[in-house]
Structure 1
Amino acid sequence: MIKYDHIMIRFGELSTKGKNRKDFVRVLYTNIKSALKDWPSLTFDMRYDHIYVSLNEIPYEPVLERLKDVSGIYSLSLVYRCQKDIDLIIESALMLMKEEVGNTFKVKTKRSDKTFPLVSDDITRIVAGHILRNTPSIKVDVHNPEILLSIELRQEAAYIFTHTYLGAGGYPLGVGGKSMHLLSGGIDSPVAAYLMMKRGVSIECIHFASPPYTQMGVIYKLEDLLKKLNRYQPRIRLHIVPFTKIQEAIYDHAPESYCITLMRRMMFRLADALAKKRNCPVISTGESIGQVASQTLQSMHVINAVTNTPIIRPLATTDKVEIIKLSNKIGTYDISIRPYEDCCTIFTPKSPKTMPHLDDVETLEKQFDFDSLIKEALANIEVKIVNGEEEEVLL
């Protein structure tokens, strides 16, 4: 039985990044080593357009699964490495084929090392012929094979494989800067956080808590969501902002229909202040156009007016079915639907304003001293660091 000894990692989109490519690959290499830190005996070999992980007797399954979550990886292949000798190549290829199940196959050869004496077509023909002579029950199908046997001849060695797996794609975490992400605990915001990470943006999260109206169960729910997202970003900072006094002031001084708009404006003021403090050049949210009253274009315009910081909404044009599908994919859906209400759902009015006017909202805000309430909230933020199965509270 042949034993896979390497995993080949391909970069994908990084090959298009021009002058930034070197920095992107360096960050990806660091992220890969960090993701695989649980297996210290693994070794790494970085090449121009791929990285090899030498398994060194480590079972490949958990390593492969971990790598599938690393953004910036286009694809992964379990490979058998051998010397660039045609006899070794054909025997290794035959051993791999005998472990596969299927009636048809195709050999595909890529010869990056142009000094090898045989061209790609010759290698393909020789290997396929050897397999046919020694495996009578199998046939060649170049159009729709059940088994695709790939051979890559590179400068350092020959690599043979039959399985390639898609990676997360996108860019390496960290190359896109950092965002202050609004995390409610619902279905949408964790998915939006994942999409930000996939584009190389690391996140810090801000959550607005309104005890005694909201329960501690919401915070536990957030921690569990972030543990799922730790697959894509190993360490996430969560800022829990006390929001009760601000909400009570809004509901004491404004018509019920405007309360959601005013509440969202206060949230964005708080997120903006924290983003500046934490050197986050953007704010991100899980909003989707038209999904709720505060997410109409007019509402977004009025809410955005409180900040000059760019607001990124990865789910802006995504429908709910697609969002739920992504939520299930990343493992957050079952946590998101736990029955704990957040500050938005508890104070939802019967008929929220869907087309608020900026002048009206600014007039309503003059009815109470929100500046002092915001300063008080910022001074009493609780910070948690969620890192896999661990949490660290920073007072």
Structure 2
Amino acid sequence: MCGLAGEFRRDGSRADVSAVERMAATMSDRGPDDSGVWSQGPTALGHRRLKIIDLSAASGQPIVDAAAGLTGVFNGCIYNYRELRAELQAKGHRFFSSGDSEVVVKAYAEWGLDFVDHLIGMFAVAISERDTGRLVLARDRLGIKPLYLAESPGVVRFASTLPALLAGGGIDTTIDRVALAHYLSFHSIVPPPRTILAGVTKLPPATVRVYEADGSTHERVYWDPAFGRAAERAGWSERDWQDALLDSLTTAVRRRMVADVPVGVLLSGGLDSSLVVALLAGEGQARSGLATFSIGFDAVGGREGDEFVYSDLVAKTFGTDHHQIRVPTGDLLPPLEAAVSAMSEPMVSHDCVAFWLLSQEVAKHVKVVQSGQGADEILGGYHWYPPLAGVDREQALETYAKAFFD
């Protein structure tokens, strides 16, 4: 996890470098290993780095490619960066680092605005063109990596977190009433492009937005998932679907092993994280000392506060370097403010403090972890999904709303 920030002036003045420095400084927790700021005329870019791929200074950011006339900042991980690097080298591009950040900039040099179509991974990117003066912002297909924006007639500012934008100053912090309605009815979710603040928006997922030097703006949505049934799969058996799912999950886990530092797993003992451990073990990760982490709490009202019996079993089965983190009830309230401060936007979940405490402990051992987060959304694990299986498509929205909306 890194953090990026920047400013693009549209009023003929030079970028406020000190504002970008303030914005980037708020993200030292996202990028504790290195920092950098670059400016040229109306554009300034800042970055905080967490070293995961290419631990050398060569992959420090902002990345400046003088030959191509490009400067970029990048937050995320490109899983196919090695393959892209080889392809770009074959096209004549020369590299000064061995990381994925430079691959992103070189991909833009080769394919222009279509560079995102070649990237497999999670990312937020800002690229400045020296010769045209344009600024390009892009976000990954699912919007895994955040990119917040504050726009006014004379200036555009952007950052990986909402608090970073506030540190730059001049933000309208009144509550967006439509966003508040979404927040209160839609399980604390504010869909893009809105945020809870009227003066801040989000770049939508799968979007490339271009700010031209003349002040004009245009954008492209480069990916739109199809939710219809695929005719070629109409005859699939249950086993066919199981095999396809296993193949996809294995690919996903394998891709996320791309790192020059050890990769651990947040192991709750549930199906999702246990499957991730099993798949990593199948890829040989356990032999290199796979670290797993589980958190548990005191029993309350006769209900167990942990699932250690399951996580211990998985850790033993696959021979992981397992860490049990026990949190007494009295330790839950003190970190509440810190947990809230770590959020880019307000959210609601009973396990927010638990995740914060778990992350604090995990950070003492590894920089990167895989987890089972998101599996319920994809595989219909929550209680509001099963009712949809028994209704016609025309009734799906009403059925979903009845089960999901607060």
TM-score range, shorter chain: under 0.3
Higher relative contact order (CA 8 A, sep 6+): 1
From the two aligned structures, give the one with the greater helix fraction. Answer: 1
Q: Normalising to structure 2: TM-score of the pair? A: 0.27
Question: Which structure's CA Rg is the greater one?
Answer: 1
Q: TM-score, structure 1 length as denominator?
A: 0.28
